[in-house]
Amino acid sequence: EPEVTQTPSHQVTQMGQEVILRCVPISNHLYFYWYRQILGQKVEFLVSFYNNEISEKSEIFDDQFSVERPDGSNFTLKIRSTKLEDSAMYFCASSEALESDTQYFGPGTRLTVL
Amino acid sequence: GEDVEQSLFLSVREGDSSVINCTYTDSSSTYLYWYKQEPGAGLQLLTYIFSNMDMKQDQRLTVLLNKKDKHLSLRIADTQTGDSAIYFCAETPLSGGYNKLIFGAGTRLAVHP
């Protein structure tokens, strides 16, 4: 069964460093998403992406964040200058079409900012 | 605003039924979802219900939707130890253009012998 994959599973970085989290969505899906879950808190929407552009972003998704689909298979989330409060589990998701709206999630990348 | 509320913890005996409840605020939501998260794992889509339905059954899972009260429930029949996990309710509000999921805080289900 097709699945969303994410790498790395765990990333440790120093405050102020740039990180890139990688995702490979399900191959025939057209809509891509990033969510995050701070330990003990709700899963929060960050951004959605379609047709090579952001379709919606939350207040959390400020100028420190960017997303990219560098090729036909990868979808990345870049955090330019990490802060302690960026420590969280980051989930990538994809969906086939907007109307079906069923989002399939990857296993997540745990980001630890020291 | 958009909000989804769930009780935080539920403990059941193996073999009994579990009922996890959720309330949501956005009546425009077209789809409502249940996701399962096992320890250290990602979010696994369990089931979803379209807003014009009252009930959906899928093997041991039954989803009930009360649109008037904006109440969603997930019933797990014959609960097993493998069902121990956190269960998240989620909605897709119209204001989000169906682009984003709004999650509840999750209900931790503990199944004991």
Residue B1 has pLDDT above 70, yes or no: no
A35 touches chain B (CB under 8 A): yes
pLDDT value of position A100 = 53
- Which residues of B lie inside 8 Å of A (Cβ-Cβ)? 30-31, 33, 35, 41-45, 48, 88, 90, 92, 96-106
Of the candidates B95, B31, B97, the residue with the CA atom closest to the CA atom of residue B65: B31
Percent of chain A with pLDDT over 70: 96
Are the beta carbons of A58 and B100 separated by less than 8 Å? yes
A7 or B100, which is more confident?
A7
| pLDDT value for B111 | 96
With beta carbons under 8 A apart, name residues in chain A contacting B96: 45, 56
Poorest-confidence range of A1-10, A31-40, A84-93, B25-34?
A: B25-34
Residue B75 C-beta-side C-alpha neighbours within 13 Å: 12
- Work out how many CB contacts closer than 8 A connect A with B: 58
Average pLDDT over residues A60-67: 95
CB contact under 8 A, B105 and A98: no
CB atoms inside a 10 Å sphere around CB B93 = 22
Q: Encode pLDDT of A75-109 as tens digits.
A: 999 999 999 999 999 999 999 876 556 889 999 99
Query: Is pLDDT larger for residue B40 or for residue A106?
Result: A106
pLDDT of residue A28: 87
Mean pLDDT of chain A: 92
Cβ(B17)–Cβ(B76) below 8 Å: yes
In this predicted structure, what is the pLDDT of residue A94?
Answer: 93
CA distances from A110 to A3, B22, B54 (A): 18, 27, 37
Structure confidence by residue, pLDDT tens digits, B64-109: 999 889 999 999 999 999 999 999 999 887 665 557 889 999 999 9
| For residues B14-43, average pLDDT | 88
Give tens-digit pLDDT for A14-56.
999 999 999 999 998 989 999 999 988 889 999 999 989 998 8
Write a three-state SS string for B17-29.
CEEEEEEECCCCC
Task: Find out whether B86 and B100 touch, Cβ atoms under 8 Å.
Answer: no
pLDDT: which is higher, A5 or B28: A5
Instruction: Judge whether residue B25 has pLDDT over 60.
Output: yes
- What percent of chain B shows pLDDT beyond 90? 59
Predicted pLDDT of residue B15: 97
pLDDT of residue A99: 56
Q: Please tell me the predicted confidence (pLDDT) of residue B61.
A: 96
Token pair recorded at residue B80: 């097993």
The pLDDT-based confidence of B30 (bands split at 50, 70, 90) is confident
Q: How far apart are CA A65 and CA B24, in angstroms?
A: 29
Q: CA–CA separation, B35 vs B91, rounded Å?
A: 11
Long-range contacts at A61-68 (CB < 8 A, ≥ 24 apart):
A67/A32, A67/A34
Distance CA A36, CA A43 (A): 6
Q: What is the DSSP string of A78-102?
A: EESS--GGG-EEEEEEEES-TTT--
User: Is A42 close to B105, i.e. CB distance below 8 A?
Assistant: yes
